[in-house]
Amino acid sequence: MAATAAQVKALREKSGAGMMDCKAALDESGGDLDKAVDILRKKGLAQAAKRAGRVAKDGVVGHYIHMGGKVGVLVEVNCETDFVARTPEFQTLAKEIAMHIAAASPLVVRREDLPAELVEKEREIYRAQFAASGKPANVIDKIVEGKLDSYYAQTCLMEQPSVRDQNITIKQMVAAATAKTGENVTVTRFARFKLGETAES
């Protein structure tokens, strides 16, 4: 059954996708609005993955100062063109990520940025916790990898759940921006400063 104009309009308002994309998603979902939204999201994330190889050399340095100047963050968020970098949506994304970093205090942008010796040290600690459990080695290995995934979610910016919405990670937030802008959006680096931090260490 072909989608009605009213259904297409409702889906456009809900998803922000183009008219033809909405019509195709509604046709595919048999007119089910929620399923159509899921279809559009999956396509958007798939397109985002395709764009990931493109060079993102433009962008902005997002910033955020918190707690009366006691915590400050600078974060470089890149896209492909100055046109997208200057849009309010992109500026807001950079600000949101800077605010998240201030609150969540990640160590690195992505798991590949963690020093190998630090990851190995964590792996050894987890393995030692279960050494006397009597579980088979392959079971312990799976438990250890599961604990490492939790560690990455705590320490790596892209894998952390957003402090504003725990149902979405920063990686998913960036992928959604890539899908919406049609450009490769990436987070390159950040710096987080806390007053007196060096004095404490």
CATH code (residue 180): 3.30.479.20
Question: How many structural domains does the chain have?
Answer: 3
Q: What is the mean pLDDT of residues 165-184?
A: 91
User: Encoding tokens for residue 88?
Assistant: 């309010």
Q: How far is CA 182 from the centre of its chain?
A: 16
Residues in contact with 174: Cβ distance below 8 Å, sequence separation at least 6, in sequence order? 93, 158, 185, 186, 187
* Domain identity same for 88 and 178: yes
pTM for the full predicted model: 0.69
Q: pLDDT tens digit string along 92-104?
A: 999 999 999 999 9
* Domain identity same for 121 and 133: yes
* Domain identity same for 103 and 120: no
Partner residues linked to 193 by β-bridges:
72
* Domain identity same for 73 and 100: yes
Q: CA distances (Å), 141 to each of 72, 137, 152, 199, in order?
A: 39, 6, 16, 39
Residue 33's pLDDT is: 83
* Domain identity same for 97 and 14: no
Residue 119's pLDDT is: 92
Q: pLDDT tens digit string along 111-135?
A: 999 999 999 999 999 888 887 777 8
* Domain identity same for 67 and 103: yes
* Domain identity same for 121 and 89: no
Which CATH number do you get for residue 35?
A: 1.10.8.10
Residue 48's pLDDT is: 54
* Domain identity same for 182 and 105: yes
Domain boundaries, position 130 = 115-155
Q: pLDDT tens digit string along 28-71?
A: 888 888 888 788 777 765 455 555 556 677 899 999 998 788 99
* Domain identity same for 149 and 164: no
Residues 110 and 173: their CA atoms lie apart, in Å, by 14
CB 38 within 8 A of CB 16: no
> What are the DSSP calls for 108-157, one per residue?
BSSGGGS-HHHHHHHHHHHHHHHTTS---HHHHHHHHHHHHHHHHHHHBG
* Domain identity same for 47 and 137: no
Residue 49's pLDDT is: 56
Residue 200's pLDDT is: 44
Q: What is the mean pLDDT of residues 81-91?
A: 93
Terminal-to-terminal C-alpha distance of the chain: 66
User: Encoding tokens for residue 194?
Assistant: 């806390």
156, pLDDT greater than 90: yes
Report the chain's mean pLDDT, rounded to a whole number: 86
Task: Find, among 50, 58, 53, the residue nearest to 91 by Cα.
Answer: 58
Please state which of the ranges 48-62, 76-90, 134-148, 171-185 shows the lowest mean pLDDT: 48-62
